[in-house]
Structure 1
Amino acid sequence: MVMNKKSVAVVMGGYSDEYVVSLKSGQLIYDSLDRNLYDVYKVVVLKDEWYFLGENDKKYEINRGDFSVTLDNGETLKFDVCFNIIHGTPGENGILQAYWDAIGQKYTGCNFYQSALTFNKKDTLAVLSKYGIPSAKSIYLRKGEDINVDEIVSELNLPLFVKPNQSGSSLGITKVKEKSELIAATEIAFKEDHEILIESFLDGMEVSVGVIDFKGETIVLGITEIVPTNEFFDYEAKYEGASEEITPARIDEETTKRVEEIAKRAYNSLGMSGFSRSEYILMNGIPYMLEMNTNPGFSPASILPQQARHYGISIMDLCGNEVEKALNK
């Protein structure tokens, strides 16, 4: 019998449209953590309310001064660790991490700087280029700037991708095939963010690479090939099954080694910790990075749990490893 079990709050939800996915991810983690070691609780963070879910799904407000909760019997419950599984803001872009740092609350995953950096696609790729990690040719625009369509098309060629700089789940991304579609595509992206990226089209296999630090070592959990039935790996493909995911990807040993080496280098160069999933396009055997997710989807259908199963790490061990690292911070 373990004396003095640690209390773990699985913190899910978020302020963006991705909260629906986060609740599924949170449920898997809640179900998977070892009850012999931990008392596990659910906390939901939404724009309008932060609450603890008690018995019979009764809601108790979270005290934002110290992230505690006052129960019916007047007792205060504080958490030894927050297991952060919010996708998008405020859990994947550094906001919650900075708040938890300020109040002295331990949490899983990377710290606020890594979260903020990796949530910004442009800055991530700029930093990683210094470590020799290639990415697509791109142009960066802020809301209100003039958009010179001819100049953009002559520099990047068609087709091209227009993406919000800071949005997860492929929301606001458009593949532009005709010059006439470019302005409308920028308007869609600007709905998600005031900064956007216009990227040249990389014609190759898309792979999603799970990297974690497990028991003190950076490991590649798996390389999953994404075969979208849609034009690209969009929200529908990611979460509604409109893509085929093949683990391991159908690539030769040499390419596999190259992808693993680059994915690990990216993870270590950014000083990452915890779960991560980065997306690459393989062209002529070279992985070009698209983005890095520090709180990737973790529902049973998501790529990271699939990779863990394939690698041979149980979800219980994967999640327990995160909690133990947070406790030892």
Structure 2
Amino acid sequence: MRVLVIGGGQNAEHEVSLASAAAVADALRVGGYDVSTVTISREGVWEVAGVSEGATAAESLVLAMPLISAVDVIFPAVHGALGEDGALASLCALAGVRVVGSGPRAGAIGMDKWATKLVADAAGLRTARGRLIDAADCGDSEFDGPVVVKPVSAGSSYGVSLVREEAELGAALREAARFDRRILVEEVVHGREIDVAVIKEAGGVRWAAPSLEIHAAGLFDTAMKYDGSARFTVPAQLSGAEAISLTRAALTMFDALGCAGVARMDFFLTAEGPVLNEVNTMPGLTAASQVPRMFAAADVSYVELVSRLVRAAEVPGR
């Protein structure tokens, strides 16, 4: 089977996406797939070796189309805006090519933290109370902290701040606005940070891997995610009732969004039960990332995990 792995992208998660794409490509080669790769630059240029030098973003996409039409499956390992948000899935849908992961609708809603909250509420899941602010209104925002300030559509905790004092709010809003004009201000939820990964296999069966607990002495921010200081427990030490409630909540959200492939649901586990934090429809996919760690605890190796994702790939919308 011929697979095109796409990495990079036009957002702050560019380097993370490159790492995911390289790891996925290597694992697929080990699994016996015929793998080709392409990188999208920070400027949106599809870097096709030998043909796209000096091309504009639009010209490079035209030059990349033969690569897309020549493969059986696209693996878009691009996190964040213009990748994970359904943009690449939409391209694959228009081209009629099978794609790994969620389709345009699930990607777009899952990337939008405000829309995700609305879907979660409709599905009966708890989220942190919050309000939406436009970047133009940052100077008029009231402080009712402590609060967490975050861009509505960004990943890897870029632009996220924990605000304890009113004097810190303005800087936090400006930092979030660097990544999105729409800003989410949420109450602080006190609870254990638990991630649950859900996979939809070929044939439609979906199941949740053993959960993962994040141990952080404060905000689990971008630096902690990638400097090696984060500590994880897999599987998380949960009671039977806690494990059931988290799995049920993760599957409910997966289905409510219409996800495919693999998605990671991030929760706070409180005394009153799970509180959904956010959804990642194309989570980090190096062997050391959280999702592969969870599936390893279910005796699914990294090579087998990416192979299962390719086998489950579908043309979006069909």
Deviations 1:194-229, CA, capped at 9 Å, x for gaps: 000000000111111111112431111121111114
Equivalent residue for 2:103? Answer: 111
Is 1:306 the counterpart of 2:293 in the alignment? yes
Deviations 1:127-182, CA, capped at 9 Å, x for gaps: 121110100010110121265454x41xxxx3210000011000001100111211
Deviations 1:264-313, CA, capped at 9 Å, x for gaps: 11101111101111111111051101110011001122101111111111
Equivalent residue for 1:262? Answer: 249
Contact 1:60/1:69 (<8 A) preserved: no
Contact 2:135/2:181 (<8 A) preserved: yes
Contact 2:31/2:304 (<8 A) preserved: no
In the alignment, which of 192, 204, 217 is matched to residue 205 of structure 2? 217
Count of residues paired in the alignment: 308
Q: Which moved more, 1:206-215 or 1:120-129?
A: 206-215
Is 1:286 the counterpart of 2:281 in the alignment? no
Q: Distance in 1 between matches of 2:268 and 2:13?
A: 24
Equivalent residue for 2:46? Answer: 50
The structure whose Rg is larger is 1
Is 1:295 the counterpart of 2:282 in the alignment? yes
Q: Distance in 2 between matches of 1:202 and 1:139?
A: 15
Inter-CA distance 205–59: structure 2 relative to 1 (3 Å threshold): farther
Q: Distance in 2 between matches of 1:246 and 1:161?
A: 24
Structure 1 gap ranges (5+): 1-5, 53-57, 71-75
Equivalent residue for 2:55? Answer: none
Q: Distance in 1 between matches of 2:96 and 2:44?
A: 24
Q: Secondary structure at the match of 2:253?
A: helix
Q: Percent identity?
A: 28
Equivalent residue for 1:3? Answer: none
Give the TM-score normalised by the residue count of structure 2.
0.90
Structure in which a larger fraction of residues adopt strand: 1
Give the TM-score normalised by the residue count of structure 1.
0.87
Q: Distance in 1 between matches of 2:212 and 2:184?
A: 25
Inter-CA distance 36–133: structure 2 relative to 1 (3 Å threshold): closer
Q: Which aligned pairs between 1:1-329 and structure 2 lie closer than 5 A?
A: 6-33=1-28, 37-46=32-41, 47-52=43-48, 58-61=49-52, 64-65=61-62, 67-69=64-66, 78-145=70-137, 147-150=139-142, 152-153=143-144, 158-215=145-202, 216-229=204-217, 231-326=218-313
Q: Secondary structure at the match of 2:137?
A: coil
Deviations 1:76-113, CA, capped at 9 Å, x for gaps: 97222111110112210111222222222321111111
Contact 1:34/1:320 (<8 A) preserved: no
Deviations 1:224-272, CA, capped at 9 Å, x for gaps: 111114x211111112222211111122111111101100111011111
CA-based RMSD: 2.1
Inter-CA distance 261–66: structure 2 relative to 1 (3 Å threshold): farther
Structure 2 gap ranges (5+): 53-58
Q: Distance in 2 between matches of 1:218 and 1:36?
A: 22
